[in-house]
Chains A and B, each alone.
Chain A
């Protein structure tokens, strides 16, 4: 069975033609060590291997490809090449774990440790007992490898030989013969081809942004609510100015508010690293409390901070023996209204032209505290 063998799981761009019969015989092989040119080198290497034995692609009967683990970008070149050629030629393609190819090539009788270079100071590795892989391939730092073996092989083993400390066998990459041997039974039996699934072992380096703008919603669990002090004004005034423009309170106005402890209470929401993310205030006259302000910096919204501030204001109002708490909200601010409704507020009236110089009405909402 004339078989094309490909591996791009390492810096060695590998292609070869093998005759798989009772034995496995390598007819031609091209290995170029260049970790940055898989895309350029692989197809010409395959072409050269075929030319060397004067065969055409149509003579191929099977394809064997190393599925990694290995650096993703190069790995995909081998896999998509194998899948596309198998499709075009209507022949089966078989995937082989590239570390298995190294183990098959060295044919070591005792327990064997095989490691590839995973970059980022890590190795892709697996252990082999009597030639068979003991568990799934792993990716870890060399220092975190804890296996018993009598020898080691692979480019990762060579790179960290001092740290790993085992006898190093001279087989850095999965050669054509090793890979073909692992798949030889499937090739001989003419098994149907398989979906070629790369062994990435790592997830893509991307995490959804934490910002609420993109749907991520970290909780407000790491947020602390505490009374506002004059020292907080250095943090509050810039964002107050940014959010409220010409209507922002001055430092003096804020100080008056904070210092009026008889009637008013002001709070801040603070992140675990001490950053002020929002503030709120309540005015209590006789048995009626009025929410004066609730503001959260734009980057910290939708994390439940406004709700935490509101709940605290309600608790303060109760402790001051208020029987009701009132607030105004823009008629078109549905998000805020929803928050207040879920906290038990109901609409009791409309103030005409309360916002935007008379253009937008306010809803007056009330929560009964009795």
Chain B
């Protein structure tokens, strides 16, 4: 049992995409964040291949748990609870982490918390920036998701989605444009790096869903991606070189312009004085800079974890698990099933 006076030690397992993430958190204190990535195996395919990711998770699971325990200086028996990403994500990949979490839960006799990947991205901020004023507005942007959320209570039962992408996720657009420009995979870091040498105003790419009659908090990146592709093809067809850095910078500017404008507007319209950034795309340096600038101008506080905690990791899952334990949530049953399309409003299954 968890004693009332000490914060719970939670093991977090994340396998929703291509990172096998194992985290250890005590309360809101980060003890270990071990990651094994199969990203190099996917680079040659230009995207994550679910079967390749699933195979890699199986191989990496136990060694990565060991690394996390060594990093934290704890033994598995010290753990009070196990938290695992139950969805959303790649079905086969989620299944590996879920089965492992159940096995550790069963063998150690410790409760299991099957949690939402997206809520975990919001919750991870607590590890770095301390208690969060509630409710908060969260801009959650990754390879699979782009949403603006109103979070009444971190780790609480309901997260309200104010808007989401209607087509591609922001991170997906980064991957596709990087591929088009002959940059590496995943696209985010490569575009970010290339864009630093480019002119963000060189090409005016479209800003999707920013018209007066468009839904205020929804996103669309598919048209932007096509516009970039058309622009590049025309240059190549003319035999002209493609100014890669300018294209990268102009594309990136179009994405972060829309993301930050809508997030700030959501906070202002909801009377909330702070905005939280999370998800892999929140590691993007230009998004962080522009969000900080616009929040300051609007009199809002901005919170964002360091880039390493924005991308998928086990610590965020452990952080959410610890919140649930401390709030007295009931643990999950051992027959809980991975849900690849889990709704953002389901924090715990």
Partner-B contacts on A (CB < 8 A)? 37-44, 46-47, 56-57, 72-73, 76-77, 79-85, 87-89, 198, 200, 204-206, 208-209, 213-215, 239, 242-245, 247, 295, 298, 301, 330, 332-336, 355-356, 360
With beta carbons under 8 angstroms apart, the residue of B54, B240, B333, B337 that contacts A333 is B240
Is A83 within 8 A of B106, CB to CB? no
The residues of A that contact B66 with a CB separation of less than 8 Å are 87
- Beyond contacts A72-B92, A198-B55: 14 other A-B pairs, Cβ-Cβ < 8 A, are A38-B99, A39-B337, A40-B336, A43-B106, A72-B51, A73-B54, A73-B91, A76-B57, A79-B58, A89-B107, A200-B55, A204-B49, A208-B45, A330-B239
Q: Which residues of A contact B52 (CB under 8 A)?
A: 204, 206
Query: For A43, what are the chain B residues with a Cβ–Cβ distance below 8 Å?
Result: 99, 102-103, 105-106, 334-335
| Complex: A57 Cα to B46 Cα, angstroms | 43
Kindly state the separation between the CA atoms of A324 and B56 in the bound complex, as whole angstroms: 57
User: Residue B133 at the A interface, CB < 8 A?
Assistant: no
Which residues in B have their C-beta under 8 angstroms from that of A47?
A: 106, 334
B61 touches which of A80, A244, A298, A355 (Cβ 8 Å): A80
| CA–CA, A76 and B92, complex, Å | 9
Interface residues on chain B, number (Cβ under 8 Å): 47
Residues of B near any A CB (own CB < 8 A):
44-46, 49, 51-52, 54-55, 57-58, 61-62, 65-66, 76, 91-92, 95-96, 98-100, 102-109, 179-180, 182, 233-234, 236-241, 333-338
Q: Which residue of A lies closest to B77 (CB)?
A: A88
- Which label, helix, strand, loop or mixed, suits the secondary structure of the B interface? helix
- Residues of chain A within 8 A of B182, CB atoms compared: 213
Nearest to B333 among chain A residues (CB) is A44
Contacts of A301 in B (CB 8 A): 236
Contact A243 B234 (CB under 8 A): yes
In the complex, chain B residues whose CB is within 8 Å of the CB of A80 = 57-58, 61, 96, 99-100, 103
Known contacts A198-B58, A213-B182, A245-B238; decide if A298 and B233 are in contact (CB<8 Å). yes
Q: How far is the CA of A213 from the CA of B52 in the complex (A)?
A: 21
Neighbouring A residues of B46 by C-beta, 8 Å: 208-209, 213-214
Check if B239 sits within 8 Å of A213, measured CB to CB: no
A-B contact pairs, 15 of them (CB 8 A): A37-B337, A38-B95, A42-B102, A43-B334, A44-B334, A84-B62, A84-B103, A88-B76, A206-B52, A208-B44, A214-B45, A242-B234, A243-B238, A298-B233, A333-B240
Q: Across the interface, which residues of A come within 8 angstroms of B337, CB to CB?
A: 37, 39-40
**A41 — nearest CB in chain B belongs to which residue?**
B335
Query: Using Cβ atoms and an 8 Å threshold, which residues of chain B touch A85?
Result: 103-104, 106-107
